[in-house]
């Protein structure tokens, strides 16, 4: 009976794991012990597999011995988004609990392999960067630091309970998620820009 409760250990390489009505990809390095974790959020209209390829983080995972985790947002087909606050697409309109999903991903991962819960980090691109900020603001107990790329915080309000170090990467020439705030033209293959409430 006990054996049925234990999940198979994750060997080095890539694993796609179903969780709730979604999935996440884990890249395991060839290393032993409780490892650090980096959660890597895809941008709006993308998905975990595309973010894994685009970011090239697997090589860093293998070299530096951390677990790279690529969760999937929600949406239609492979065009997924995050409820990062006031952006982007259907996820915030439907009130998707993406913070709860990320907590569930980490708990599920911890059942499959030893992790160092004091060294969980988050990064993401564009809408994924916005989600990174939401994690820092609403789940500061979960992450040691965040490093959003090309996306700002789009929470209408927040009340952080713990400080979280932030390293922000953003081009002043970004045409989509504007450096000074707001959004640029609609996403490719759409005729509307995601709703974004001004926070300035």
Confidence of residue 200 (pLDDT cuts 50, 70, 90): very low
Helix (H) or strand (E) holding 76: strand 74-76
CA 67, distance to chain mean position in Å, is 14
- Please check whether residue 99 lies inside any domain of the structure: yes
Instruction: Check if the beta carbon of residue 85 is closer than 8 Å to that of residue 127.
Output: no
Share of the chain above pLDDT 70, in %: 88
Q: How high is the pLDDT of residue 175?
A: 78
Mean residue pLDDT across the chain: 88
Q: How high is the pLDDT of residue 180?
A: 76
Predicted TM-score (pTM) of the model is 0.88
Other CB atoms within 10 Å distance of the CB of residue 116: 14
Q: Which residues of 7-36 are buried (b: 16+ CB within 10 A; e: fewer)?
A: eeebeeeebebeeeebbbbbbbbeeeeebb
Per-residue pLDDT for 11 more than 80? Answer: yes
State how many domains the chain has: 1
Taking residues 22-38, report their average pLDDT: 97
Taking residues 173-189, report their average pLDDT: 70
- Partner residues linked to 14 by β-bridges: 27
Q: Which domain holds residue 48?
A: 11-149
- Listed as own residue / partner, the contacts of 162-165 with beta carbons closer than 8 Å and 24 or more positions apart are 164/136, 164/137, 164/140
Per-residue pLDDT for 196 more than 70? Answer: no
Q: How high is the pLDDT of residue 2?
A: 40
> What is the rounded CA–CA span in Å between residue 175 and residue 171?
9
- Please check whether residue 194 lies inside any domain of the structure: no
* Across 1-10, 112-121, 187-196, least confident range: 187-196
- Please check whether residue 72 lies inside any domain of the structure: yes
- Please check whether residue 90 lies inside any domain of the structure: yes
CATH number of 126's domain: 3.40.50.1820
> What is the rounded CA–CA span in Å between residue 39 and residue 120?
8
- Please check whether residue 176 lies inside any domain of the structure: no
Per-residue pLDDT for 199 more than 50? Answer: no
Taking residues 170-176, report their average pLDDT: 81
- Please check whether residue 93 lies inside any domain of the structure: yes
Strand 74-76 relative to strand 79-81, pairing: antiparallel
- Please check whether residue 5 lies inside any domain of the structure: no
- Please check whether residue 155 lies inside any domain of the structure: no
Q: Which residues contact 87 (CB under 8 A, 6 or more apart)?
A: 44, 127, 130, 154, 183, 194, 195, 196
Taking residues 145-149, report their average pLDDT: 97
What is the largest distance, in Å, between two alpha-carbon atoms of the chain? 58
Residues 31-87: tens digit of each pLDDT: 999 999 999 999 999 999 999 999 999 999 999 999 999 999 999 888 999 999 988
Share of the chain above pLDDT 90, in %: 70
Residues 122-131: tens digit of each pLDDT: 999 999 999 9
């Amino acid at each position: 009976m006990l054996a049925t409760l234990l999940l198979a250990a994750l060997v080095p390489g890539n694993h796609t794991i179903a969780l709730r009505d979604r999935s996440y990809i884990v890249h395991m390095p060839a290393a032993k012990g409780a490892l650090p974790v980096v959660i890597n959020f895809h941008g709006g209209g993308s998905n975990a597999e595309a973010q894994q390829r685009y970011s090239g983080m697997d090589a860093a995972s293998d070299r530096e011995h951390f677990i790279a985790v690529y969760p999937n947002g929600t949406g239609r087909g492979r065009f997924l988004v995050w409820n990062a606050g006031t952006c982007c697409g259907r996820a915030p309109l439907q009130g998707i609990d993406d913070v709860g999903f990320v907590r569930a991903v980490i708990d599920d991962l911890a059942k499959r392999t030893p992790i160092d819960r004091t060294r969980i980090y988050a990064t993401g691109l564009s809408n994924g960067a916005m989600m990174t900020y939401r994690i820092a603001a609403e789940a500061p107990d979960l992450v040691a630091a965040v490093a959003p790329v090309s996306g700002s915080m789009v929470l209408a309000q927040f009340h952080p309970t713990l400080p979280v170090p932030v390293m922000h990467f953003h081009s002043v020439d970004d045409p989509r998620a504007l450096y000074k705030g707001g959004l640029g033209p609609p996403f490719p293959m759409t005729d509307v820009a995601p709703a974004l409430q001004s926070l300035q």
